[in-house]
Structure 1
C-alpha cells in the first residue's frame, strides 16, 4: 500500500487532525482501519520501513503503532504488526463522502414532545421576555462576594456541597422570604436548586408518580409543562381568567389532580393576580383531593402597582403548598440558583430522595449569594430594579398606545418584567414573530403558551419583555414592531384570492 497516498487522502477526507506528524500518522492509520482502507488481518510495514517511505523519524512511527496497539487496533505477532480483527462492516465504497450513513436511533418520545421554540438565550433580541437588565447588575459588589467566598474556602469545601444546599444561604433565603413574602419557613425547609426549573423538576419527580395528573395554567409557563412531561405526568390544561387559574367543579370531578401549578402573584404570561378568595378555595380543594399546590413566585419582587398579596403558602400553616423561587430574574440567569420551600413534614423524606439521586456542587456561588443577601446588596439591587422596570414598562405602554392603538390590547401591566398584548390584526402571532426575528426583533408569540389543541387561537398576541429595554429605545422598537405587523398583514391580504 502507498502510505504516502493514504496520508494525502486523509488530509482531504479525514477529520481535522493535530499538527504534529506523529499524531497525524496515528490518526490517519486509525481512520484507515475504521473505514476499511486497511483490511483486518493486514500486516503493516515495519516501523523502519514505514519511516523511510514517509521520510519521518522512526520514533514517530513507533508512537503511532504503540498507541494503536494500546487501543486494540493493532496486534503484535511473530509475523509482524497486524491489523486486529474488530468485526467491522464496511459498505461497497471506502469513500466517506459517498458512503450511506447508518440510521440514527430516534429520540425518546418524551424528548420529541418537549421540543419547542428556542429562546435565543445566548443572543437575546430586543423585547424578548425573561432576561433582566444585565447591564445594571452590580458586578463589582458581586465580585467582592465571590472573592470573599473563595478566600474562605478550604480543601474540605472542594468536595460535594451539602445535598440541601449551603446552610448560610438557606438561612438567608428563609429570613428574606419571611419578611418580604410572608412565607412560613425555616432553613430546614429550604432546598437550593438549579433555578426554578430545578425546583419544578424536583416537585414533578418527588411529589407525583408517572401517570399522575398535573394541572397547568393555560396559557402558562412552558418550563412547568416541560418538567411535568419529562416526569411522565398527565397534563390537564386549566383555563385562566382575570384572577388566574380558574378550575371548574367539573374539573375537580373529572380529572382530580396530584399537582396543581400556579403563578398567583403574576400569572405567566397574562399577568393576572389571584384573588384571596381564589387562593383560599384552591388550598381547601387541594387538601380535600390530596393534591399539592406548586406556587411559582418568579418575579413578585418587581410589582409596582400596589403591595402584592402574601404568598399562598402563608395563608395556612398546614397548606399542601410547595413554594418555588429563582434568582435568575432578580439577579442574572447564568447564576442558575433557585430555591424550593417544602412543608416541614416532608422535608426529611425529600432530602433522602435527593441524596439518592445525585450530589450537589457550586458551593462558592452559594456562599457568595448568601453574602450578597446578608450584606444588603440584594435588597438594594431589587429596589433599584423595581424603579427601573417601572419606568421601562411605562415607556413601552406609552409607545404601544401611540403606534399600535387598536392593533394590540395590553394586559399584565401591574409589574414584573413583561407585558402581554393581544393582537387584533388578521394575522397569526407566530407569523409575525418569525418575520420580526428576521429583522432582529424578539416578539415572543403568545399562542404557544397554550397546550397544543386547547384553543391557542384565542390567545393570538405577544409576550413583550421590557426589563432589558432602555427607556429611550421604546418608541423606535414599537415603531419597528408596527412595521412588521403591517408588512405581514399586507402579505396575507395580498395572498388572498
Structure 2
C-alpha cells in the first residue's frame, strides 16, 4: 500500500499555483525548477517520496504528461530516482545541498601567477580621448571591408562554415608573407605564418611552445604590458631589461647570471618609449641568443606607421635562420575587434611544433580571414595604410605643438616619429597615476608611463598620450586640461 508523501514535500510542490499568465515559463519548466530548487536547498530531503504523476497533476491542475516529462528530465539529470516503488529524491553529495552563504565552502584558489597580472589603466570599450593603442576608427573604409566580406561569403558557400586549417587560411597566410617580405623585409614562406587571435595569442603561443614554468624571460622595461601578462600566465621568471634612447640595453653579465629562454623586444618602435634598436644592437642580440640557446620574440609594434623617412626593417630578416619569432597584428592597421594577428615561425621550429599547433589551435574567423586576404591582395590594405600614415603624421605634429604651447610643467616629449602615441616624461613630483585617475574622470584616457615598468624608476614617471583616435582639433583644449591636472597633482619635493 502506497504511503502519503511527507507534508513538507507537498508544501514545496504545492506552495503556489503554477503561473499561467502571458509570458510565463512553460508549465513543465516551472515544475522542473520548483523540484530542482527544493532538492538543492535541502527542503526535499534525499530518499523522500514524491507524489505520483497523476496525483500531482490533479493537485496542480496540469496535465499528467507535463508532470511525467518533468520527472523524467530530473531523473536524467540525477536529481530523482524512478523505480517500481515510485519517485524518490536521489542521494546527492553534501556540497550540492549548501544553500546559505555561510555554509558554502570557499572556492579553490587560482594559480598564484594570476595575482601577478595587474590591471591596466584603460577602459574596456576604447572610449576616451588620448587613449593609446586605438587607431582612427572613423577613418576605416568600412564600405570596402563590407564588400570584401560579402564577396567572400558568396564565394565560399557553406564549406566555410566548418573548421578551417588550424594554422590559418592559406590565402591569408600567403598574402601576409608577400606583404611582410616587401614592406618589412621579413624572410618567410606562407607555411611559416600562423594566424592567431591578435598579437596576444601569438605571444601566449610563444610562451607555451618555447618555455617551461620558472624559465627566465627578459622583457623590456618599461615595456608592453600584454607581454608581461603572457609571461606571468606561463609562470616564467621575468627579468626587466632597461631601455634607453636606442632601445633595449643588455648588460653583458646578464647572459651568464640570468641566461634567458625568451627575450621580448619591440625593436622597430619600442613600446612605449618609441626608441629604435640599431643594427649593431640587433645583430649582437641575435648572435648572443644563438650562443645561449635563447629565442627572441620580435613584436613589430606600430612599424607600419613611420612618419619620418623609410620604414625600419624587421630584425627577423637581418640574418638567415635567425632565432627570432616575429609577431604582428591587424588590430592597429585595421581595427581592434577584428582580432586577427600572426606569428612567423622559424622553419626548424615549425617542423618541431606543427603537430602541437594543430592540436592547440582551431581554425576560425574564416570569413574574416578570407576577406582580409582579398583586402590585402586588392591593394586596399596598402592604400588604407598610406592614408593612415598621413593622418597620424599630422596628428602627431599637432599634438607636439599643443604640448609645447600648453603643458606648463617641465617635461620631455618622447615616443619617436612612428606609431600612434607620444610619451611625456614628468618630474616625479607630479605622480602620473594620480594625474591619469583625475583625467579619466573627465573622459580623458592617457596611460601612466610608470605602469609599463616592472620596476619603475623616477624617470619612468609620465604620460602616454594616444593620438590615433583623437581629432587634432581637440588637442589644444585637451592638453590645457591635462596641464591643469598635472599641476594639481604636484607633491612637495
2:82 to 76, 84, 107: 76
1:101 to 104, 129, 135: 104
User: Which residue number in structure 2 is paired with residue 50 of structure 1?
Assistant: 56
Report the Cα distance in structure 2 between the residues aligned to 1:27 and 1:18, rounded to whole angstroms: 13
Note closer, same or farther for the CA distance 1:410–1:64 as it changes in structure 2 (3 Å cut). Answer: same
Note closer, same or farther for the CA distance 1:416–1:71 as it changes in structure 2 (3 Å cut). Answer: same
CA RMSD, Structure 1 to Structure 2 (Å):
2.5
Note closer, same or farther for the CA distance 1:273–1:29 as it changes in structure 2 (3 Å cut). Answer: same
Report the Cα distance in structure 1 between the residues aligned to 2:16 and 2:220, rounded to whole angstroms: 56
1:98-140 superposed Cα distances (whole Å, 9 cap, x missing partner)? 6543211111112222232263232522212111111111111
Report the Cα distance in structure 2 between the residues aligned to 1:274 and 1:417, rounded to whole angstroms: 18
User: Which residue number in structure 2 is paired with residue 475 of structure 1?
Assistant: 476
User: Which residue number in structure 2 is paired with residue 238 of structure 1?
Assistant: 241
User: Which residue number in structure 2 is paired with residue 302 of structure 1?
Assistant: 305
Deviation at 1:268, TM superposition (A): 0.4
User: Which residue number in structure 1 is paired with residue 227 of structure 2?
Assistant: 224
Deviation at 1:243, TM superposition (A): 0.5
Asked whether the 8 Å contact 1:3–1:54 carries over to 2, the reply is no
Asked whether the 8 Å contact 1:163–1:351 carries over to 2, the reply is no
Report the Cα distance in structure 2 between the residues aligned to 1:118 and 1:18, rounded to whole angstroms: 44
Tell me, which stretches of 5 or more residues in structure 2 are unaligned? 1-6, 18-22
Note closer, same or farther for the CA distance 1:256–1:18 as it changes in structure 2 (3 Å cut). Answer: farther
1:339 to 338, 342, 348: 342
Asked whether the 8 Å contact 1:260–1:291 carries over to 2, the reply is yes
Deviation at 1:18, TM superposition (A): 6.5
Asked whether the 8 Å contact 1:44–1:83 carries over to 2, the reply is yes
Which SS does the other structure have where 1:421 is aligned? strand
User: Which residue number in structure 1 is paired with residue 203 of structure 2?
Assistant: 200
User: Which residue number in structure 2 is paired with residue 312 of structure 1?
Assistant: 315
Report the Cα distance in structure 2 between the residues aligned to 1:123 and 1:3, rounded to whole angstroms: 53
Deviation at 1:418, TM superposition (A): 0.8
1:432 maps onto 2:398 in alignment:
no
Report the Cα distance in structure 2 between the residues aligned to 1:194 and 1:5, rounded to whole angstroms: 53
Note closer, same or farther for the CA distance 1:160–1:4 as it changes in structure 2 (3 Å cut). Answer: same
Deviation at 1:357, TM superposition (A): 2.4
Q: Tell me whether 76-85 or 320-329 shows the greater mean CA deviation.
A: 76-85
1:263 maps onto 2:262 in alignment:
no
Note closer, same or farther for the CA distance 1:110–1:18 as it changes in structure 2 (3 Å cut). Answer: farther
Note closer, same or farther for the CA distance 1:252–1:146 as it changes in structure 2 (3 Å cut). Answer: same
1:323 to 326, 350, 356: 326
Tell me, which stretches of 5 or more residues in structure 1 are unaligned? 12-16
* Matches for 1:87-486 after TM superposition, within 5 Å: 87-88=93-94, 96=99, 99-117=102-120, 119-424=122-427, 426-451=429-454, 454-486=455-487
Report the Cα distance in structure 2 between the residues aligned to 1:68 and 1:122, rounded to whole angstroms: 42
Note closer, same or farther for the CA distance 1:431–1:7 as it changes in structure 2 (3 Å cut). Answer: farther
Count of aligned pairs between the two proteins? 482
Deviation at 1:73, TM superposition (A): 1.3
Report the Cα distance in structure 2 between the residues aligned to 1:409 and 1:10, rounded to whole angstroms: 72
TM-score, length basis structure 1: 0.90
